Chains A and B, each alone.
Chain A
């Protein structure tokens, strides 16, 4: 990091966050989200639809001998879908659209600092995502006749870390999309890998050990682990710390990527 610090010595320091500025930008962004029908559809309906498909998949597969209940698959899975669709994929589109419309450049001529601009862009999607996560967790637990979460702290940690990580990774991914059209494709790899190999649809326990170990290091896996452990318990201290560590590491890596590569205006 020392090399980066020296190189960045002349760059503006991160100023303090102003809630007034954050609120003004967040409000505008919320208005835009509510007017974007397709984004709203994806954000609101897909997680519910996919929650049902996770449920039926979990019921068909014989996961009880892995020591897993249907609820322990469905609840983390549904939050994972919210994180990937409503937050990650949606925000890649938001950041690219604002960049291509020159909104980000224009905002940077004003008093809002970079962190405020990026945070405000994510605010409505994250708020919506949190609300959905709570609804799905509570609703799912009631419908599947599950009790209160074993470790509420881990559920909260999983949701919060997941939101922050998805936002940061979305901003980092946005620099790869040159157009708003590309912004719809860019999130695909991350989403496919997460669905297949982060325990959202398929428990990692069914994989051979080596593959399972590789999958543990993917960005979405620690989030799934934390949520599952929160819902049903069963993650020892070391495993919990490892999950937290991996999640934080991906978030920092994403933040580093944003600092290095984020583009505030279209390429010419």
Chain B
């Protein structure tokens, strides 16, 4: 069974005093299986939090259907709340209460709460119980928020940017904790800006853009649609035109960067050629695309589309759900790769076969 179902979700903010309403979520469909970690990614303003808030039951869906554990989280609040844990993007706790007082308060509004101390220990705040919330660091506040989300031993956990503001250690601890929770059968929906985190943690993910899901699947599936990269230094005495490449290469100075959907073949060609010519390809590396590259490319495509749309409303961006292919038409200067020149000096040549 799916723990979370979202179908054709639309969320429009009411117009405030004559202004036009704002549509934060235009058309979002996805589902999260029981016991799965699902990551919702997107640039700021993509509609992640607006989507998650509907799932948390804080706001009704303007259109579409949302179910959490089979219930409508807004109208059937009393059925859903005891089984969910929520960490908002920004924690809301009275600054004058101590950590222990805050946890006690939260345990008091939670049925079947685990001992407060246990929850605080889980997030490593056990030694800070007598500190006022206002004296906590940003990362500690996030930990407290996480502890409270866990007090009710939730079946479904919503984490909106759980690690923002945490130091690397905090991020690692949190990721570890989330994995443990999954092992115990908890379903986790999280949003994050750390793509590496999503890639490592998430069983499946969706990338949002202007209120829509533009890519979804396992991290591998989302990345698979993106080209792999080969990079090396151009050997002395070799001109870019002489390279045995069937696709475009970007050459910056003597640095060559190739994007290809056929990594194995392309690499074989290159290595065989290098052996035959007896040249050394210094600094050679070859790797599949990372989620970060995939994400940035999708984001950039979004900007290009938005600019082309002109009205900026995001309507009419007809992008289907699922991994996208064929998005390479813009040439090699587009994209995120750190291997390419970002200063416009990129020398765009075709490594045509002789």
Interface of A with B (CB < 8 Å)?
A: 10-12, 15, 20-21, 23-25, 27-28, 31-32, 35-36, 98, 101-113, 116, 264, 267
| Cross-chain contact A21 with B96 (CB below 8 angstroms) | no
Q: How far is the CA of A163 from the CA of B93 in the complex (A)?
A: 27
| Cross-chain contact B108 with A109 (CB below 8 angstroms) | no
B94 at the interface (CB under 8 A from A): yes
| Closest residue on chain B to residue A33 by CB atoms | B96
| Cross-chain contact B56 with A27 (CB below 8 angstroms) | no
B166 at the interface (CB under 8 A from A): no
Give the residue among A28, A102, A116 with the most B Cβ atoms within 10 A: A28
B354 at the interface (CB under 8 A from A): no
Per a CB cutoff under 8 Å, which of A21, A102, A264, A267 touches B88?
A102
| Cross-chain contact A109 with B88 (CB below 8 angstroms) | yes
Per a CB cutoff under 8 Å, which of A21, A24, A32, A113 touches B94?
A32
Query: What are the residues of chain A within 8 A of B104 when measuring CB–CB?
Result: 24, 27-28
B27 at the interface (CB under 8 A from A): no
What is the number of contacts between chain A and chain B, taking CB atoms within 8 Å?
A: 90
Query: What are the residues of chain B within 8 A of A112 when measuring CB–CB?
Result: 109
| Cross-chain contact A28 with B56 (CB below 8 angstroms) | no
Query: What are the residues of chain B within 8 A of A10 when measuring CB–CB?
Result: 60, 74-75
CB distance from B86 to the nearest CB of A (A): 4
| Cross-chain contact A110 with B96 (CB below 8 angstroms) | no
Seed contacts A31-B96, A32-B97, A267-B16; 6 additional CB < 8 Å A-B pairs: A12-B76, A20-B108, A102-B88, A103-B94, A105-B92, A109-B57
Stretch at the interface among B1-9, B77-85, B227-235, B245-253: B77-85
Query: What are the residues of chain B within 8 A of A105 when measuring CB–CB?
Result: 58, 88, 92
| Cross-chain contact B81 with A110 (CB below 8 angstroms) | yes
CB interface residues, B 24-50, toward A, < 8 Å: none
B167 at the interface (CB under 8 A from A): no
B110 at the interface (CB under 8 A from A): yes
CB distance from B105 to the nearest CB of A (A): 4
B101 at the interface (CB under 8 A from A): yes
CB interface residues, B 106-151, toward A, < 8 Å: 106-111
B91 at the interface (CB under 8 A from A): yes
| Cross-chain contact A31 with B97 (CB below 8 angstroms) | yes
Interface of B with A (CB < 8 Å)?
A: 16, 56-58, 60, 74-78, 81-82, 84, 86, 88, 90-97, 101-102, 104-111, 152
Known: A102-B91, A105-B58. A25 touches B109 (CB 8 A): yes
Per a CB cutoff under 8 Å, which of B91, B97, B109 touches A21?
B109
The 9 listed contacts between A and B (C-beta, < 8 Å) are A10-B75, A12-B75, A28-B102, A105-B58, A106-B93, A109-B81, A110-B106, A110-B110, A113-B77
Query: What are the residues of chain A within 8 A of B101 when measuring CB–CB?
Result: 28, 31
Query: What are the residues of chain B within 8 A of A103 when measuring CB–CB?
Result: 92-94
| Cross-chain contact B110 with A111 (CB below 8 angstroms) | yes
Query: What are the residues of chain B within 8 A of A32 when measuring CB–CB?
Result: 94, 96-97
Q: How far is the CA of A20 from the CA of B109 in the complex (A)?
A: 7
| Closest residue on chain B to residue A264 by CB atoms | B58
Query: What are the residues of chain B within 8 A of A98 when measuring CB–CB?
Result: 94
| Cross-chain contact B91 with A106 (CB below 8 angstroms) | yes
| Cross-chain contact A102 with B92 (CB below 8 angstroms) | yes
Per a CB cutoff under 8 Å, which of A35, A109, A113, A267 touches B96?
A35
Query: What are the residues of chain B within 8 A of A24 when measuring CB–CB?
Result: 104-109
Query: What are the residues of chain A within 8 A of B88 when measuring CB–CB?
Result: 102, 105-106, 109
CB distance from B183 to the nearest CB of A (A): 24
| Closest residue on chain B to residue A110 by CB atoms | B109
CB distance from B44 to the nearest CB of A (A): 13
Q: How far is the CA of A98 from the CA of B56 in the complex (A)?
A: 20
| Cross-chain contact A36 with B75 (CB below 8 angstroms) | no
| Cross-chain contact A106 with B92 (CB below 8 angstroms) | yes
Q: How far is the CA of A112 from the CA of B148 in the complex (A)?
A: 14
| Cross-chain contact B91 with A27 (CB below 8 angstroms) | no
CB distance from A208 to the nearest CB of B (A): 40
Q: How far is the CA of A102 from the CA of B90 in the complex (A)?
A: 8
CB distance from B59 to the nearest CB of A (A): 10
